[in-house]
Chains A and B, each alone.
Chain A
Amino acid sequence: MTISQLFVLAPNGHTIVHKDYRGDVSKDAPEIFLRKVVDKLDAPIFTVDGVNYVCVRKNGITFLATTVYNVPPAFIIELLTQLTKVCKDYIGVLNEESLRKNFTLVYELVDEILDFGWPQSASTAELQPFIFNKAAEVSASKETVSRTGLSALKAAPKTMSSKAVHKPISMKNEGTGKNEIFVDVIDRISATFDSSGRVRTFAIDGSIQMKSYLTGEPTLHLALNNELVIAGMGQRAGYGMIELDNVNFHECVNVDQFEADRMLTLQPPHGEFVLMNFHIGSMRSESQIPFRISPMLSALSEYKQELRLQIRAEFPDKFHGANVKVVFTVPKSSTGATVELAPGAKQQTWEYDDATKSVTWLIRKFPGGSTQAVSCKFVVKSETNVAKEMGPVSLAFEIPMYNISQLQVQHLKIVERNKSYNPHRWVRCLTHAESYVCRMGAGS
């Protein structure tokens, strides 16, 4: 369970930080690694000449570990993932610039987290007494923010302090740091539909994420919906109940009161962590479908085809989908495509990329309850099986302040503190499309 070297590599492959713990692997490990990656190898773990390479990528940065031992792979992956989180906690943003500016801090971190390749303490809080470098702050560039999957929150007016999560955790100056805590309930939805709208696959992978800047070490009570049922725990979901298939928790959580009161007790560590993951493996009710997609394909002539695409937002009208991006591909033989937006369509754009034959339709703001439609015309060779060759319609979207899982944080209490201790508590929610696809084929 020990690693030989650790590398932090920039998007272009250059080494930002390199720590050799055991001296049993050659120094050109990154070159061998990069050569493999260029060979289109997308597996995160592989072996070359007795050296095992394990990597985790985040915001274009590669965290790479090498080892000569037959280690548990999950152990190394989790450790590297934890390292990305700790770096983000201490630096504020994770990108090449911030890592380069703070490389001595990163050295300090990797030196404390591992000793001779053996993991020691790796939680942000436990590390605090041993870290002395101060973070040089870097502003989050547009690029990195949009990749976090929380970009929609930036636009929403109710979430004004969202920028605060990009600041490094305050360490020594506890008195002056802002006393606040962020809780995000995030639903990631994956669904596949056939062209008649029938659900083929459906799953929600959700998590409750926390980022704590609280002073002291308060104990928190976090209550979830009372109507919550975990399948397989002997309970049945009745009307109005919310059924989850499985949950797991961060190690700081005490779940003794969860069974009875749906109450979690925890002492949040400083920094960002995932409090709880939950998984819903199948659709429980029609209301869980946020967008309905209806494609209609018709031949205008032997060569000319038209796709009419209609999308309806099924969620309540006080919410909206943000940055809804619709992508589909036209048959290989087509030479171009034109899109006609609906008259009066606001904040909508489209583009066609001939290299990939893909059409992208972007709707900045998609109000709940509304229907948006578009018509796309393209020319194909005769005898093309258009329905078969059309790529599926995929949707990427975020719905701020809305959870299709209905999982809610009912309250977040701080236990046994005097009245003056009243930190800001920000509870936000978000639904995010992980993979949302409607197939074009005739619905086999």
Chain B
Amino acid sequence: MATTAAPGQPPPPGGVVIEHKKGEVNELKAALRNPALDRDPEKKRDVIKRVIAYMTLGIDVSKLFSEMIMASASKDHVVKKMVYLYITTYATANPELSLLAINTLQKDCRDEDPMTRGLALRSFTSLRLENTKEYLPSVVAAGLKDSSPYVRKTAVIACIKLHRLAPEALVQNDAVNTLYNMLRDRDALVVSNCISALNEILQHEGGMAINKLIIHHLLNRIKEFNEWSQCVVLDMVARYKPETQQETFDIMNLLEERLKHSNSAVVLAATKVFLNLTQDMKAVHAQVYARLKAPMLTLMTGGVFEQGFVCLKHIALLTSRSPAVFAGDFKHFFCRYNDPVCVKVLKLEILTTIASVSNVQEIVEELSEYVTDTDNSVARGSVSAIGSMGVKVPEMAGIVIDALMKFVGYDITDVSAEAVICMQKLLRKYPVHADKILAKMPDFLRTIDEPEAKKALLWMLAEYGHVIPEAPYLFEPLVEGFSEETSQAVRLELLATATKLFFRRPAEMQAMLGTLLDEAISDASFTDVHDRAMLYYRLLHYDVHKAAIILSRGGTVDGPYVEEAPSELADKIFEQFNTLAVIYGEPAERFVTDERALSSVNAAAAKAAAAKAAEIEADVAASTGQASAIIKGAGNVAAIAPFSALLKAELMS
């Protein structure tokens, strides 16, 4: 319940001084007991406000419980609200005393003013007390039938609270059925609360059951709902599978206007509906992406930065599915100097994804400007993005390598390191560009110190040992520095490099390799390094030719890097569009730990899996069916054909 500044914090400046609290609390007690207070409503408000102020500061004012309950008899709404706030805060700590409040609360639930009834009902069901169990079911049931929509919508939410406190009471009340019936309530907020309540109460079975009737009923009233309720409704619609394509198009036409809403929550909820509905219709699905573009770009920059951040995350997800859609709008994702770092990094990611032959040159030029950014993650991120674009677009590899060489010249530690790492990635794919980099090798080896970058350099040195004339001499000082090297990864790479170089330049390397292996085996500071050295040593000892075949395999890559390939994970996140999964880049199972929340995640997944299984079953049944079934299927195809023709016509225009 509402309480307290966190413990251990000093009182805020200008706040109340805690040292005098004991006296103050007693003083308040006296003030509350003063009969004159009832004649002066302004003063009464003041006294009670002071109690709440102490409460917020974390001072224990629970001693005033009985006095506060007395005060709740007031007709003044301001006083009543504050008293109820107080009671709900201290109830769990004072279950015995709280019984005193039940009487007043029950009475207020029958008050003639609907506002009082609603307030009392809300507070009563928020107490979370075992000993309210016996009173609540009847109070809630009465609330559901109330003539005031304010009380009804409060009672609907109260059903969830009751479900938490006493699930069996809810069953006795047959509340679930009542809630389903109330989906037809005149008041839109009551309806959307019913959806929320059913979704929570029926969590274990994947939320509220839906059918055509319910969905159409909700969709027809969509404009009556406020923006938050619209999101709740759209979330339901996203779960629905229309029976016919015509129905799909009707729903999309109806919701088209939602995309013009200035509330990003509504737009994203509608987007999810569109994406889900068109999943099995490739052409239309692609069209949906195109339609989303303008609204998403407007939302991205139109509101507060937090809103833009969420939109960007969703754009990043969309672009990973369909990079071409935003490719022409790449300039929208150029960074503004005052963008927060998290936004800049995100934009870099999007730019990398949408880079293609047509826009990559301009993107690389722009990103080259960010390399000197004062924030390290932005500077490094830009370099890495430029490198990835070079890997992705073969035509750019040469230009990108030139740019990377330039960055090393800026003499910014992190930038140089990242540039070298990118060079390695590029060389693995496009070895033809090796010459330019290799010429600078001596400089790089002198200046670069970061482990990851050093590893990359060593790899290049080994891989191109046969074309760099001075390779063994460049390597020599590194061997000498082996014992001072603190990174295990670098040490391992040194061993690998020495062996590889040995096969390429045996005469010059033999002595050096011997020394290195000797040193590595006798040094026990890293077990892995020791073991690796032993392995190399024995391998070489056993059969040099076989060792050569094993140890000097080429390191070039033909296909895409693993990171670039589409993954199951990405599909899973896409299924959870418009949830936190998109923000974290992880499916819900990985970050949701709360038992209830997890059960809803699992139930939804099970439901989806079941639907998919049913679909496959139907497919199998259809394909193994009798001749008549096949003919029926052919009829279906014929019926769909003109429809897709229509679509094509739409796409052409």
B93-111 CB mask vs A (1 if < 8 Å, else 0) is 0000000000000000000
Query: Interface digits, A371-389 against B, CB 8 Å rule (1 contact, 0 not)?
Result: 0000000000000000011
A47: B residues at CB distance < 8 A: 580, 584, 591
B-chain residues with CB within 8 Å of residue A246 when the two chains form the complex: 294-295, 297-298
A19-B2, A115-B154, A246-B295 given; A104·B307 CB < 8 A: no
A27, B226: Cβ atoms under 8 Å?
A: no
A100 touches B14 (CB 8 A): yes
- Are A132 and B304 in contact, with the CB atoms below 8 A? no
Cα of A386 to Cα of B270 in the assembled complex, Å = 51
Cβ contacts under 8 Å, A79 to chain B: 228, 265
Q: In the bound complex, do residue A104 and residue B82 qualify as a contact, i.e. CB atoms below 8 Å apart? A: yes
Our pick among A81, A247, A279 for the contact of B301 (Cβ within 8 Å) is A279
- Cβ contacts under 8 Å, B601 to chain A: 70
For A78, the chain B residues whose CB sits under 8 A away are: 227, 263-265, 307
Q: Is B427 an interface residue (CB 8 A)?
A: no
Of A12, A73, A251, which one neighbours B263 at CB under 8 angstroms?
A: A251
Which of the candidate stretches A156-164, A197-205, A288-296 sits at the interface with the other chain?
Answer: A197-205
Closest beta carbon of chain B to A276's beta carbon, Å: 7
Contact A437 B337 (CB under 8 A): yes
Known A-B contacts A70-B601, A121-B189; the reply to A441 vs B331 at CB < 8 A is no
Q: Which segment, of B17-25, B381-389, B592-600, faces chain A?
A: B592-600
With an 8 A cutoff between CB atoms, is B128 at the interface?
yes
B302 touches A1 (CB 8 A): no
- Residue B182 at the A interface, CB < 8 A? no
**Is A439 positioned at the interface, with any CB of B under 8 Å from its CB?**
yes
**Contact A251/B227 with A56-B304, A279-B301 known, Cβ cut-off 8 Å:** yes
With A74-B268, A104-B82, A122-B228 as contacts: A203 and B301 at CB distance below 8 Å: yes
**B410 CB within 8 Å of chain A:** yes
Q: Say whether A115 contacts B122, CB under 8 Å.
A: yes
Question: By the criterion CB–CB under 8 Å, are A248 and B260 in contact?
Answer: yes
- Identity of the chain B residue whose Cβ is nearest the Cβ of A63 in the assembled complex: B306
The residues of B that contact A216 with a CB separation of less than 8 Å are none
Q: How far is the CA of A153 from the CA of B380 in the complex (A)?
A: 41
Asked if A42 contacts B196 (CB within 8 A), the reply is no
Bound-state Cα–Cα, A422 to B128, Å: 52
Chain B nearest CB from A85 CB (Å) reads: 10
**Once the chains bind, are B580 and A45 in contact (CB under 8 Å)?**
yes
Question: Which parts of B542-597 form the interface with A (CB within 8 Å)?
Answer: 576, 578-584, 588, 591-594, 596-597
**Docked-complex contact A23 and B128, CB < 8 angstroms:** yes
Contact pick for A281, options B189, B329, B578, B597, CB 8 Å:
B329
A227 within 8 A of partner (CB) = no
A71: Cβ under 8 A from any B Cβ: yes
Cα A130 to Cα B115 in complex, Å, equals 7
A106 to B482, CA, bound (A): 65
Q: What is the CA–CA distance of A433 and B339 in the complex, to the nearest angstrom?
A: 13
Residues 173-204 of A contacting B (Cβ, < 8 Å): 190, 192, 200-201, 203
A55 to B342 CA separation, bound complex (whole angstroms): 14
B10's nearest neighbour on chain A, judged by CB, is A14
Query: Does A411 interact with chain B (Cβ within 8 Å)?
Result: no
The residue of chain A having its C-beta at the shortest distance from the C-beta of B89 within the complex is A20
Which residue of the partner chain, among A73, A123, A200, A277, contacts B582 with CB atoms under 8 Å?
A: A73
Is B514 engaged at the interface, CB distance under 8 Å to the other chain? Answer: no
Task: Flag B177-216 by CB within 8 Å of A: 1 or 0 each.
Answer: 0000000000001000100100010000000000000000
Q: Is A303 an interface residue (CB 8 A)?
A: no
Residues of B within 8 A of A81 (CB): 303-304, 306-307
Chain A residues with Cβ below 8 Å from B301 are 190, 203, 205, 279
Identify which of residues 202-239 in chain B touch chain A, using a CB-to-CB cut-off of 8 Å. 226-228, 231-232, 235
Q: Identify 15 residue pairs between A and B in the complex whose beta-carbon atoms are under 8 Å apart, listed by A's number.
A: A20-B3, A50-B594, A56-B306, A68-B593, A69-B594, A77-B304, A107-B2, A111-B122, A129-B115, A130-B115, A132-B77, A279-B297, A388-B372, A389-B372, A394-B337
**Besides the known contacts A115-B122, A248-B262, A251-B262, 16 further A-B residue pairs in the complex with CB atoms under 8 A apart:** A1-B235, A18-B5, A20-B3, A50-B592, A75-B265, A75-B269, A111-B85, A121-B189, A207-B302, A245-B298, A276-B262, A279-B301, A281-B329, A388-B410, A435-B338, A444-B369
A-B pairs with the 7 shortest C-beta distances? A50-B593, A435-B336, A68-B594, A119-B228, A246-B294, A279-B298, A277-B302
